[in-house]
Structure 1
Amino acid sequence: MLWPDNLSPSSADSTPVEQAAWKGVNGVWRPLDGSFFDGGVSIEWHDFRVDSDMDWSRSFHPGCLEICLNFSGAGTLQDGPVERQLESSQVAIYTTHSGRPKAKRPAGSWHRFLTLEMGREFLRTHFEASRDRLKEPVVRFMDSIGAPPPWLEIIPLPPSLLGARMELLQPPVPEAARSMWYRAKVLEILAQTLFVTDSANELFCHRHQRQNRERVDRVCYLIERDLENPPSLEMLAQEVGCSPFHLSRVFAEQAGVSIPKYLRMKRIERAAELLKSGKANVTEAAMSVGYNSLSAFNKAFVEQMGCCPGLYPAVRIPGRRAKSSKA
C-alpha cells in the first residue's frame, strides 16, 4: 500500500478520497513540504508502479492549479474532446475540479513524478504584480470564483529542472531551513513554467548560449538516469539535436570535462554512495553502475576517491580528495 514515508494516513493534507486513490499501489507517496489546505501550496513526490491502469485523477484536490514534473513513466490527461499523452521529461499543467481532468497511469512501468498543488490566493500573493507576464490561463485561474476554468498544457521539462529530483528529495540545507528552501524551489519551478517566454526578443548569441547550456543539462540528465547502460554519443547528439562533434565540444566547454570522463565520475560517485550506505558490496556497486571489470572499477575508484572501494569510506589516502565535476 502506498502511504507517505513520514506521515500517517490521517494527515491533514490526506483526504479520504485521496487515500482511496492510492490504496493497493506499490510504491511511495511522500509529501515534501506545505499544505494545500492550510497554506495554499503543497509539494509531493510519487514513486510507484501499478499492476493495472490507475485512475490518477482520483488523487487531485478540486479547485487547484497543479503542476506535474514527470521524470519517468507515462500518463494520459483529458480535459475536453482530446486525450493528451504525458511522457517522461515533460511537465503537465492543469486545473482540477470534480473529476477533471481525466487522468490515467498505465500498468507495467515505474512512475516517478513531483506535483505542486496551488490555490488562487497563493498565486495572487506571489504573482499579482507580474500578472501581465503570466500565461493567460494562469490569470484566468487567479481571477476565477468557484470552479476554475479548464486548462491543460503539456510542455518539455525545463533542462534546469531535469536533475532537480535528488536535490528535492534530499535538500542541501539544515532541517530548520527546509521549509524556506522548499518555498524558494516552488517559486523557481513556477517561474519556469507559468510565465510567457521571452524567446521572441532573445538575441541570437544569447539564444545560442542558452541552447548549448540546455543541451549540456539534458545530456547530464540522460547520462545519470541510466549509469549502467548509458546512451552512446550518437544517441545523445540525436536526443539534443546536434552533431556528435558539436556536442562533444560544447559539453567540454560547459562542463569542463569530456562526456566519457563525466560518465566515469558519476559512476564512481554513485558507487561510493552505495558503499557508504551499506546497500551494496564492492562487486554489486561496480555492476550497478555499469562496470563489468572489477580491476577497471578499482582503478577508477582509487583515482577519484583516494582509496580502494573495499576500504571506503573508513579509510582515505592522506592528501587525496574526491574529484568533482563542474556540471
Structure 2
Amino acid sequence: MPAAAPEAPFRSWTTVPERIEADWADATATNALVAHLNFRGDAEMRWKDGSSTTIPARTTCWLRASPAEMLMARRLASRDRHECLTLVFPDAWLRLTLKGVTSQVGDAFQPLISGTSRCVLRQPLTEEDEGWARGAMPPHLCSQARQLLDSARLTEFFIHSIFRNETAQQAGSAISRTLRVAQERVQRVKDLMLAQIDSPPSLDELAATVGCNPSYLSRTFTQIEGTTLSQWLRRVRIEHAASLIATGKCNVSEAALEVGYQSFSHFSRAFAEEKGVPPSQWVRRLSGDK
C-alpha cells in the first residue's frame, strides 16, 4: 500500500477586540514549524526557562517550539484590536517538500527547518506578505477545490519565504553574524533586567556589562525587539504585577512595590496604558464584577 500523505499545512485567523487581554492557546504546535503574521496588537510568550518572546504589530514570527516548553502565551491589551494569521507547517510535510534541497535553505531558516531546540525568527511584515494573506479565495470553487488551492498557496508562501533573498543572505553572512551577536546581546540585557525587575540596571550599566556604548545598545534593542528598552521594561513590570495580583500573591499596592514602582499614581497610569483599564477596574474584572 502507498504511504499515507503527510498532514498538509493549514492556517487560522485570530482576532481579539481592542483593550482585551486574551490567552493564546495555539501559539505553538507539536512537531511543526509555525509562522505568525501579526498585523495588529502585541503578543507575548513566556517559556519555562524564564525567557520570553514578544511579537509586536507588523511582525512575522517564525517559531519552532514544543507546547511543553511554554509557560504562558497571551494577546496583550491594546488600543487596537489584535489581528494575526497563523500558519502551521507539519514536520512530515516539511521533510517531503524540502527533500533534496534542505541544504540550500538560508542560514536564518536552517535551525527552524532541521533543529530540535526552540528557535525564533522575527522579521518585519511586508506589504507583499499582507497582500498574500488577505487574498480572497475564488467564491465559485467547491470545498475540496478550495482546500487544494489553499494548500498550494501555503506551499507557495513557505517556499517563497525560506528562499527569499537567498543570494543576498549568502553574500551577507557577515551581516547574519552581526545580527546573531545583536540578538544575543539584547537577550542578555533582558535577562539582566528580569533578574532585577524592581530595581533594574541603568542603560549605562547595561551597556558596560554587555560591552557596547549606551546609544548603540538602545538603538539595537529597539531594532531587535520592535520597542524601546523603557517600553519593554514597563510592559514586563506591569505583566509581572498583573500576574502577582491575579494569583493572589499581592494586592495592587504590594504588586506595584514588588515591580519597582514607588509611586502608586505612576503605577496606575502605566497599568492603564498597558492593560487599557486602571488596576482597580482590572481587579473587579478578575472577580467577575461588572
Q: TM-score w.r.t. structure 2 length?
A: 0.47
Higher relative contact order (CA 8 A, sep 6+): 2
